[in-house]
Amino acid sequence: MNTATTSDQEQIEQFLTTLRASLGPIALPEREEILREIDAHIHDSMELTGQSAATVIAKLGSPQQLAADYRDGALVRAASYSFSPMLLLRATLRIATKTLSGFIVFLFALTGYLTGISFLITAFLKPFFPDRTGVFVLDHHLYRIGIQNTLPPVPIHEVAGFWFVPASLVIASATLVLTTVVIRHFLRLSTTVQQKLDGYHPTFRTSQPSSPSR
């Protein structure tokens, strides 16, 4: 058993103070719960192992990095229930900097959202530029889908007409919804897997840590 000395307690308080300041963006109730869990973990580890506060704190890493892990977890958790493309992209980008699967999903998300937005833009532009926007064919083969910078030469002609508008809206909606569903599923899956793999000190903190097993 190791009872915290005055010096130990001062080091713990200093660590928690820095951690509290670094957790700024996280909601106050969750922030205070994190601090209570970390405080309990430090004291429990000292009692179980007989190590000093400095040793236990060193194993946790810097308070800034610890807070960054918690902020990443909070972002991923919030995005996994969000429909905001910006929030979903931010969360996948954060994971993309740390895992290959995250990088792949980020590229998928970026491609999906850009494709959906492109179809929305072309649907909007079709009534204003009917001869330069749509599905263009050349010699019965698809030449281009979208908008031409200039009027296409005579052999190339647009075949969809104003049906291009509803078709583009349907494709855009389906692409955006599918992209959102896939990203949210990935974020929830990564949250579950990370919790199982990393235990107390995960790469992405997706929930408040539990005290170590006694």
pLDDT by residue for the chain (214 residues), tens only, comes to 556 678 888 999 999 999 999 988 788 888 899 999 999 999 998 988 888 889 999 999 899 999 988 888 889 989 999 999 999 999 999 999 888 988 999 999 999 999 999 999 999 999 999 988 999 998 888 888 988 888 778 788 889 999 999 999 999 999 999 999 999 999 998 877 666 655 544 333 444 443 333 3
Cα separations (Å) of 106 from 73, 80, 114, 124, 175? 17, 14, 12, 27, 15
- Amino acid in position 121: I
User: Which residue range forms the structural domain that includes residue 184?
Assistant: 84-198
Residue 165 within a domain: yes
- pTM, to two decimals: 0.74
CA distances from 53 to 89, 197, 199 (A): 39, 26, 21
What distance in Å separates the CA atoms of residue 89 and residue 96, rounded to the nearest whole number? 10
How do 141-147 and 156-158 pair as beta strands?
unpaired
With respect to residue 19, please indicate whether it lies within any of the assigned structural domains: no
Residue 190 lies in a domain: yes
> Considering the domain boundaries, does residue 42 fall inside one?
no
The answer to whether residue 129 sits within a structural domain is yes
Q: Is residue 102 part of a domain?
A: yes
d(CA 132, CA 126): 8
Number of folded domains that form the chain: 1
How many whole angstroms separate alpha carbon 181 and alpha carbon 166? 22
